[in-house]
Amino acid sequence: MIIGNWKMYKTVGEALRFVQTLAPLVEKSQAQVGLAVPFTVLYPLSHLLREMEVSIKVGAQNMSDNAEGAFTGEISGRMLVDSGAQFVLIGHSERRHIFHESNPFINRKVRLALQEELPVILCIGETLAEREKGAVESVLTKQILESLEGVDNLALITLAYEPVWAIGTGKVAHPDDAQKVHHFCRKTIANKWGDKAANGMVIQYGGSVKPENASKILAEEDVDGLLVGGASLSPDSFSQIINSYKD
C-alpha cells in the first residue's frame, strides 16, 4: 500500500492534472495506491477517479473528534465519506506536534472514523530526543495502545510508522531499523489483539521516502507499504516509488 500525503499543497486544478499524469505511469503496478489530499480536493478528485475508472484511492489527512455540532471550521468523518474519502490519516506527527494532538484525542477520532466505516491510517513515531533516550518502544507502545483504546476490530486500521526525525528532513531510517521497529509494532498488536490481527495488519513506513530508497525499505519483511510526503507531490517521483513495489 503506497500512500502519498500531499499536506497543504495543491489546488483542485493541480490535483486533477496530477492524477491525469500519474494514472498512465502506474497502470501496471500491483501496489494499492492512495492520495491523502486537502479537504477541498476530496470531492472533485474522487469524482474524476471514478470517471477515469482508475483504482487510486482518495483520502483525507485529518478529521474532527466530534460527530457534529457547533465546531466552527471542523470537518466530520461523515462529511469525509460523503465527499468520497476512502480513508483518513489520523495522528500524523504534524498534527501531534504543531496542533498538540494527544493520544486520547486521536483515539476519539479513530472511533468516530470506524463508526462511519472509514478506514484509518494511524500514524505513530518517536522524536529524535525520545530515540536518543532509548524510549522508542515505550513511546510507540503508548501511541498504539492509547490511540486504539476500545477498538476491538482492527480490520479497518493501517499503521504508519513515521519517525518524526525522518519526516521532511531527508534522513530516512535505515531499512534494518525500520524492520526492527515494524516487527516490534506487530508484536505489540499481537500481544493485545492476537496473532491474526497482527499478521493481517498493514504497517507502512514514512519519513523521507524517495525513489532512491523506496525499494530497499519495501524489501523488509514487516514493511507492507509507504507513506510518502514530499516525493508524492510530483507524478514523476511518486510514480517511480510506486513502480519500485514488487509483488
Active site residues: 92, 162
Q: Of 31 and 198, which has the nearer Cβ to ligand PGA?
A: 31
What is the number of alpha carbons within 13 Å of residue 69 lying toward its C-beta?
5
**516487527: which residue's cell?**
183
Residue 89's contacts (CB-CB under 8 Å, 6 or more residues apart) are 3, 5, 36, 59, 60, 61, 62, 121, 123, 160, 227
* DSSP three-state, residue 97: helix
**Which single residue brings its beta carbon nearest to ligand PGA?**
229
- For the CB of residue 102, give the shortest distance to ligand PGA in the complex, in Å: 19
Q: Of 66 and 127, which has the nearer Cβ to ligand PGA?
A: 127
Is 214 among the residues that bind ligand PGA (CB under 6 A)?
Answer: no
User: What are the distances in angstroms from CA 222 to CA 1, 21, 166?
Assistant: 13, 31, 19
Is 163 among the residues that bind ligand PGA (CB under 6 A)?
Answer: no
- For the CB of residue 50, give the shortest distance to ligand PGA in the complex, in Å: 25
Among 208, 237, 239, 244, binds ligand PGA (CB under 6 A): 208
From 71-79, 176-184, 207-215, 239-247, give the range in contact with ligand PGA by CB under 6 A.
207-215
Is 228 among the residues that bind ligand PGA (CB under 6 A)?
Answer: yes
Number of residues near ligand PGA (by CB under 6 A): 13
Is 62 among the residues that bind ligand PGA (CB under 6 A)?
Answer: no
Determine contact, residues 38/100, Cβ cutoff 8 Å.
no
Among 5, 147, 188, 204, binds ligand PGA (CB under 6 A): 5
Determine contact, residues 117/160, Cβ cutoff 8 Å.
no
Cell of 131: 530515540
From 44-52, 63-71, 200-208, 213-221, give the range in contact with ligand PGA by CB under 6 A.
200-208
User: What are the distances in angstroms from CA 131 to CA 96, 145, 171?
Assistant: 17, 19, 14
Residue 23's contacts (CB-CB under 8 Å, 6 or more residues apart) are 52, 54, 56
- For the CB of residue 233, give the shortest distance to ligand PGA in the complex, in Å: 9
DSSP code of 65? S
Is 227 among the residues that bind ligand PGA (CB under 6 A)?
Answer: yes
129-146 b/e with 16+ CB inside 10 Å = b? ebbeeeebeebbbebbee
From 11-19, 56-64, 98-106, 206-214, give the range in contact with ligand PGA by CB under 6 A.
206-214
- For the CB of residue 171, give the shortest distance to ligand PGA in the complex, in Å: 9
Query: Nearest-CA neighbor of 62 among 39, 35, 32?
Result: 39
Q: Of 2 and 136, which has the nearer Cβ to ligand PGA?
A: 2
Binding site for ligand PGA (CB under 6 A): 5, 162, 167-168, 206-209, 227-231
